[in-house]
Structure 1
Amino acid sequence: MMKHQRPWDALPSSALLNIFYRTSIKDRSRNIPLVCKSWAHASGHPHCWVSMIADNYYSESESFEVAFLKDYYPYAASFVDPFDGRRSDDPRRGIVCLQALIGRAGGGFAVNSLYFFPFLTSFDGPPNDDALLRLIANHCPNLKHLSFHGSYHASEEAIFDIFRSCRELELIDFSNSPYFNPSILQELSCCCPKIRGIRRKGDLEPNFAYDLTKWFPRLRLLNLSYSTIVDIDLFTIVTNCKELQYLDVTGCQQLIRYMHISLVRQFGGKGTLAHRERHFTNRNQSSEQMGKSTIGERLTLYHTG
């Protein structure tokens, strides 16, 4: 029986590629190439390097949505630190690492998913955020998913360059960065019409929802967990984003009147009014206990105190 089993190093390259693509960026860069020659050869294929996110969910779409919008913690499995926490005060290190990733992906044209937090940015050294963003803007025109989580020093000009060059962007994470402001949201909306999901953890300006819903009225996924959102902004979002399917406000301690929100909405352009009761569900409840409400299409709302 043992004689008929194929050793791992004899697997066809196509099978290896499908396996390696689902591993973390750390395993792809530091572990897999050392196993054997065939693994080293397969791990060098550009297909293995189009994303920093491990494709380890049921579908590619769900993988990126979970990583950029639904994961609470940046140290979760989706965002693996390829440097084991050893950040450098040399700003060139992050740039060289990103250049290497882009090179492995065939020059960057195929790269679709990148995150910063906080592995590429410089630690106690000259900021390298602008250099990283311009590298992405110049080489990754088909980028679909970008996280600014952990980037603090980028200029507005460099951020605008990203939006103007990467017009295929769909999912974006502004968590714990100073870039979530009206001018940047407006530019993102104008340059990247395919945006369908945004995540923002951290401080929020009062009445931020006015600008968010003005520029992204067709937003489908929104994660504001552990942010400073208040009731009036939450009401503005669920009222004006009519295609919203996923909204997460876990850990938002400044929400007060959030348990039952009654909304009035006009459907079908016929002047008919429909009332919908919104219930926030506790993420620790079972699926049977969760009350999932409907806003035209399904809108899942999560809240834990």
Structure 2
Amino acid sequence: MDRKRPWEALPNLALANIFCRTSIKDRSHNIPFVCRSWAHAARHPPCWASMVAENHYFPGNSAADFAFLLDSHSNFASFVDPYDGRRSPHPHRGLASLQGLIGRAGGGAAVTSIYFFPFLTSAGATPNDGAILFLIAEQCPNLKHISFHGSYNASQAAILEIIHCCKKLELVDFSDSPYFNASILEELSISCPNIRGIRRNGNLEPSFSRALSTGFNCLKLVNFSNSTLVDKDLLKIVTSCKKLCYLDVTGCQGLIYYMHIIKVASAKIANILYD
């Protein structure tokens, strides 16, 4: 009877297609040390195009949808920090690490998903938020998903550079960053017509709902959980965003008469999360 071929005997491309379904931490720190065959396959550029595991066990949604928008604890569950939060106080070290990841992907044109918190400097050190964003804008023109989680020090110019250079953006996680404002949303709607998902937790400016409800013709996924969302903004969003199919407003303490709004909206929005 023929022996079954071992895992390490699989072709490199087959192994690479499996490895890209794992976390970037495993791709960096575990898989290359199993055996020579796996180490060689782990250097295959497609393994590094996304910092999100390309698994498909989320019914009806992609892994990127969960990692950047839908998961209530996205930055701890769907995404695994390869450095376990051990950020460097030296600004250039984070830039070098990100540049290395881009190099492993075979160049920035192949990179689709970036969560850049691990590359930021540690608390109290000189911030490198802007430098990282300018690097992404310069080298990753086909970027589709980005998370600003943990970033508080980038300039308006750096944010606009990302928006103007990465025109294929689809999912943007603003989390509690200070970059979610009317002027940024306006530029985002003009430069990135494929935006289909936005996440924002924390404080919301009074004018955000007007900016969000005009220009985002492809918007389908919105997560405002644990934000300062109020009834009038909720009403503006559910009546203006015609293609909306997912809305998360859990933990929004500013909502008072929202149940009537949600009852009406549920007729056209398939999935609404609230408490």
Give the structure-1-normalised TM-score: 0.85
| 1:88-120 deviations in Å (ceiling 9; x for gaps) | 21111211110000000001111000012x311
| Aligned match of 1:294 | 267
CA distance in 2, matches of 1:207, 1:169: 23
2:264 maps to 277
Which whole-Å CA distance do the structure 2 matches of 1:109 and 1:216 have between them?
25
The alpha carbon displacement at 1:76 in A equals 2.9
Distance in 1 between residues matched to 2:150 and 2:111, nearest whole Å? 20
Question: Which AA in structure 2 matches 1:17?
Answer: A
Give 1:301's aligned amino acid: I
Deviates more, 1:218-227 or 1:232-241: 218-227
Does the 8 A contact of 2:24 with 2:52 survive in 1? yes
| Contact 1:172–1:199 (Cα < 8 Å) also in 2 | yes
**Shift of residue 252 of structure 1?**
1.1
- Deviation digits for residues 61-112 of structure 1, max 9, x if unmatched? 6111111110111443321111112122111121111000000000111100
1:44 aligns with 2:43: yes
The residue aligned with 2:164 is 164
What are the Cα deviations for residues 225-245 of structure 1, in whole angstroms up to 9, with x where unaligned?
111101111011001111111
Residue number in structure 1 paired with 2:6: 7
CA distance in 2, matches of 1:9, 1:243: 46
Give the Cα–Cα distance (whole angstroms) in 1 for the partners of residues 210 and 165 of structure 2.
26
What residue is the counterpart of 1:54 in the other structure? 53
Separation in 2 of the partners of 1:27 and 1:180? Answer: 32
| Counterpart amino acid of residue 267 in structure 2 | T
Establish whether residue 120 from structure 1 lines up as the match of residue 119 from structure 2. Answer: yes
Structure 1 contact 168–192 (Cα < 8 Å) conserved: yes
Residue 25 of structure 1 corresponds to which residue in structure 2? 24
Distance 2:113 2:9 in 1: 30
Identity fraction in percent: 59
Q: Is the 8 A contact 1:217 1:240 kept in 2?
A: no
In the alignment, the residues of structure 1 paired with residue 218 and residue 43 of structure 2 have an alpha-carbon distance, to the nearest angstrom, of 39
Q: Which runs of 5+ in 1 are unaligned?
A: 263-275, 279-292
Deviates more, 1:73-82 or 1:89-98: 73-82
More strand by share: 1
CA drift at 1:197: 0.8
2:97 and 2:17 map into 1 onto residues whose CA distance is: 23
CA distance in 1, matches of 2:155, 2:64: 26
Count of residue pairs the alignment pairs up: 273
The runs of at least 4 aligned residues of structure 1 exceeding 6 Å deviation read none
1:156, CA displacement in angstroms? 0.8
Write the mapping of 1:125-136 to structure 2, written as runs, cut at 5 A: 125-136=125-136
**How far apart are 1:218 and its partner, in Å?**
4.1
- Tell me the residue number matched to 1:271: none
Classify the secondary structure of the residue corresponding to 2:151.
coil
What amino acid sits opposite 2:100 in the alignment? A
1:19, distance to aligned residue in structure 2 (A): 1.0
Give 2:172's aligned amino acid. Answer: I
Letter in 2 for 1:47: P
- C-alpha contact 1:69 1:199 (8 A) present in aligned 2: yes
Secondary structure at 2:254 match in 1: coil
After TM superposition, list the pairs within 5 Å mapping 1:57-72 onto structure 2: 57-58=56-57, 62-72=62-72
Answer 1 or 2: which has greater helix percent: 2
CA distance in 1, matches of 2:182, 2:261: 26
Asked if the contact 1:227–1:252 (Cα under 8 Å) also holds between the matched residues in 2, the reply is: yes
Q: Which has the larger radius of gyration?
A: 1
Determine the C-alpha separation between the residues in 1 that align with 2:150 and 2:85: 13
